Amino acid sequence: MQLACRLLMFSGGLDSTYVLKKFLTETDGVICVHHIHLANPDRRGEAETKACQAIIDYCKANYRTFFYSESNIDRTGMTGFFGFDVMTVSFEAGIAAVNFKNTMGVMPTEWYFGECLEDLDSPYQKMKNRAHCLRSAMQAGCWPEKPPQLKTIPWPTKLQTMQYLAPDLVDMCWTCRNPRSSITGRYGFRECGRCHTCKMVNSTRRDL
């Protein structure tokens, strides 16, 4: 029986790292991982990319091998509006899927991105026809190939996510949405401490 081939869109944050570790340690299928260097005016993409590099190296050394690719999207000149990341990720996921097929000889049949239970209250979760929009963006990205199915795993809470990851993996992840440049900070930045994810992670750390 052919093993499943899963595509994970990877940000370098806690949620997608949780999914990556789960796939690498609890499944036998082929894992394809793709990271988008998504440059926005908030500059968090720079920190996310450095986090990705550290996490990918760690997971390959400590778990098992997997396919990995990257792409670049630059919206730093769009200060008025630069869209929902999840829609950009969905379209790029289609391109990444076909790239894996053409370079590695395997087409993902499923694709995922990381989320946690607290994300149920986020604006993009409440988007009208959200699932249809995500699938349509994926299909446009991988046309004319048959698109992988959008799948989810049971969503953990942020606390469960951080408990599941090794402490050194938690420290590698980047979650702040509005980082500030800092010579002494992680990856050349420091967390703002005020954005939604900073408050969530800082609150969760006190419960660990």
The predicted-structure confidence for 133-157, as pLDDT tens digits, reads as follows 889 999 999 999 999 999 989 889 9
Whether the bond between 108 and the residue before it is cis, its omega within 30 degrees of 0, is no
pLDDT of residue 44: 86
Looking at this protein, which amino acid is placed at residue 75?
R
Judge whether residue 203 has pLDDT over 90: no
Record the tokens describing residue 17, joined without a space.
């790292």
Query: What value does the mean pLDDT of the chain take?
Result: 89
pTM of the model: 0.92
Rounded CA separation 57/20 (Å): 12
Record the tokens describing residue 193, joined without a space.
């401490």
pLDDT band at residue 119 using 50, 70 and 90 as cut-offs? confident
Helix (H, G, I), strand (E, B) or coil at 139: helix
Q: Which residue has the higher pLDDT, 122 or 104?
A: 104
Judge whether residue 1 has pLDDT over 60: no
pLDDT of residue 79: 77
Q: Is 197 exposed, middle or buried (0-12, 13-18, 19+ CB in 10 A)?
A: buried
Rounded CA separation 115/10 (Å): 11
Element spanning 158, H or E: helix 158-164
Is domain 5-156 classified as CATH 3.40.50.300? no
Tell me the per-residue pLDDT of 3-53, one tens digit each, with 9 for 90 and over: 689 999 999 999 999 999 999 999 999 999 999 998 887 788 899 999 999
DSSP class of residue 157 equals: P
Rounded CA separation 9/102 (Å): 18
Q: 98 and 145 in contact (C-beta within 8 Å)? A: yes
Task: Average the pLDDT over each of 10-19, 51-60, 75-84 and give the range with the smallest value.
Answer: 75-84
